[in-house]
Each structure stands twice: as structure tokens, then as C-alpha cells.
Homo-oligomer: A and B are copies of this chain.
Amino acid sequence: MLSSMGVTIYDLAREAGVGIGTVSRCLNNHPHVSPATRARVLSIVKRLNYQPHAGAQRLASRRTNTISVIIPSFTNYFYVQTLQGVQDVAADIGMDLMLYGVSHTAQVEHYLRRSLHRGHVDGVLFFSMILPESFVARFQQMRLPMVLVDAYHPAFDSIRVQNNEGGYSATHHLLSLGHRDIAMINASLDTQPARERMDGYRRALEGAGIPFREDRVIISSAGKNDGFNRDAGRDSMRRLLTTTSGPGRPTAVFIASDVQAIGALEGARAEGVRIPEDLAVVSFDDIELAQYAELTTMRQPMYEIGRLAMEKLIARMKDADAAPTLSSFVPDLIVRRSCGAAAHALAGIPVPSQPAPVQHS
């Protein structure tokens, strides 16, 4: 019984008294094998506890049945949810996932290069980072399918979240609650989400005839994640509240992310400012904490994004020559306590309806 260590199709063939071709056909469900032969071979497979050799299969069939996922350090809730969507689809179709978590930017190129090794993976999902231009040609040369998620390049299938629309909806929601002086707390404008969310904020204001004021945007890029963190949020809020007062103080804030908002709530509490009575807050992401902190926020359909990414990749693996597609998800407005809409509703003021999520390509 210890024999199972290295059973090959040659052993199976000898044991069953057939050729290796026949064995292979049995194993791969090919037609043109008599039922009797197939049954005999399969019983021997079982008896000898045969395990195919993955490397040999890859070499001979030139398919790996594996895709690699290159993702920024995934302790972030966004990626965990997305990865779950990817994983579920992969499990359905029996694909393996190679996980590459990027902690240092230098690793990006390393993992991309590794994914390009022939016979390593059949496709790549690339998340939220800037694809180095030098790799564009390489992927095309190797004809290695790739889907960009939360990122964009015209040469590849891309999936994006409409941050701009999200920023617009968030701000519009505050406007429709009657606020006219709305500030924004943002992270580093070097990141695309920060820029786009601010553009939406600006567009909503201007659409309501309210001029965009640069001094109403507090930007902190301190700490990790380019300012998308709790401490930066707290500092920004304190800065906002210590530099304004009385009627010169905004009545609402749009905050670029939930983590910042969590910090901002602490900052507001420290300054004795009540949320939402004194200051209405809408943020972005709908991470797990947002529900607990009762944040009104823009929800990104993370799980669905993961599923779609995987589906796009599968489609691309089937047809390498189709034109690249661009899919967009529009974030949902999730109304909770922090925007004060509940209080409004009690006072008989109608709450604006949420825009329906749209997914177009």
C-alpha cells in the first residue's frame, strides 16, 4: 500500500493490461473507450490510489488551471470581500488561485514577472495598482489574459468603481437634506479614488449652484495608505473644527473613506461636536465597522466585483482577441444615522431615494 507514492500511468497501464493512451483517455473522459475497459482502468486507479502529476500535466497539456491574483496587502476589508467573490467562482469551475499579496511596491514587478513564466498560470487578476507600462507589451506578447480590477488600462479588460458618481451621490444626499455648506475630508490626491471622489463632490456642489471652495477640503496624507487611515481622519476633523466656528462652520462633511470617518467621529467627540445633530457625515466604502458606527456611506459591491472579475477573466481566456471591455459599478448609498436623515424622516422631510446600481460595459 505504500506503493501509492509514485504511481504513474505506466503502472496503471501495466496493471490493467492496456496502453498508456487508453489510460489517459479514461482519466480525461475522452470518448472511444469501451465501457468495460474504462471501468477496469478506473478501478485500478482507485486501488493503487493514483494521483496525477500536476507538473507533467501542465507541461504536456500547456494549461495550468491556475490563475494568479496580485493584490495589495489584503488585510483591507475591501480586498477580503472581493477575494471571496473571486474564490467562489474559481471553486465553481475548479480553478486554483495563486495568491500574491503586495506589501512593498517592489514586489509588484516581481509577481508580474513570475506570472509571465510560461506554464505558471493561465491568467492574472491585477488589483488597485498602477500597471507598469513595461509590462503591457509583455503581457500582449505572451498573450497572457489579464483583468484589471479597480484599475484601468485600455489594452486590458478593466473593472472600475465609479468613484466620481459615488462622490456625487454622497454630496447630493447631503444637499437634499438641506445642507448648503458641506466640507470634505480627503486623502492624498496622488491616489485615483481620492481625486475622483473629490471630483464628484465638486460636481454635486456646482450642480446645486454652490461654488467649490478649496479651503473646505481638508487633505491629510499622513500615515499609511496615503491618508486612508484612522489617525489622518481624526486629525482632519480636528483641523476642520478648530479652524471654524459658529455660522462659519460647515454643517456637513463628506469623508473619503469609512476608516477616516471612524477617526473623524473620535475627533468630533473630542471637540464636543455631536454627529449628526451638529454635523452630518457621509463617507465611503461600507466596511464592516461602518454598520457598527452607524455611518451613512457609499457601498461598493465588493463581492460582486470579485465574481465579475473572475468571469471576465474566464471569458478572456476563451477568446483572446475580443476587444477589451470596461465594466463599472456604481456605489450604493446606504443611509444610517450619521447623516441625520433619520431625524429628518421623523420630522416629515422626505428622504431622497437611492439611485439604483447600474452595471454597464
Contacts and interface: CB of A to CB of B under 8 A. Distances in A.
A221 interface: no
Contacts of A98: 66, 96-99
Given A74-B83, A143-B5, A58 B54 contact: yes
B91 A80 contact: no
Contact of A141 (B4, B56, B116, B289): B4
A322 interface: no
Contacts of A116: 51
Given A84-B74, A99-B87, A143-B5, A117 B52 contact: yes
B119 A56 contact: yes
A142 interface: yes
Contacts of A288: 288-289
Contacts of A100: 96-97
Contacts of A18: none
Interface string A52-85: 1111111100101010010001110000110110
Interface in A1-30: 1-2, 4-6
A127 B342 CA distance: 43
Contacts of A274: none
Candidate in A75, A81, A262 with the most chain B CB atoms within 10 angstroms: A75
Question: How many monomers of this protein are in the complex?
Answer: 2
A349 to B, nearest CB: 27
Contacts of A142: 4-5, 51
A120 interface: yes
A172 B308 CA distance: 49
A47 interface: no
A1 B138 CA distance: 10
A interface bracket (residues with beta carbon within 8 Å of B): 35 or more
Contacts of A101: 84, 87-88, 91
A49 interface: yes
A138 B4 CA distance: 9
A80 B84 contact: no
A293 interface: yes
A96 B97 CA distance: 10
A234 to B, nearest CB: 13
A103 interface: yes
A123 to B, nearest CB: 14
A138 B292 contact: no
Contacts of A74: 80, 83-84
A255 to B, nearest CB: 16
A76 to B, nearest CB: 9
Contact of A59 (B56, B81, B118, B138): B56
Interface of A: 1-2, 4-6, 49, 51-59, 62, 64, 66, 69, 73-75, 80-81, 83-84, 87-88, 91, 96-101, 103, 107, 114, 116-120, 138, 141-143, 262, 288-289, 292-293
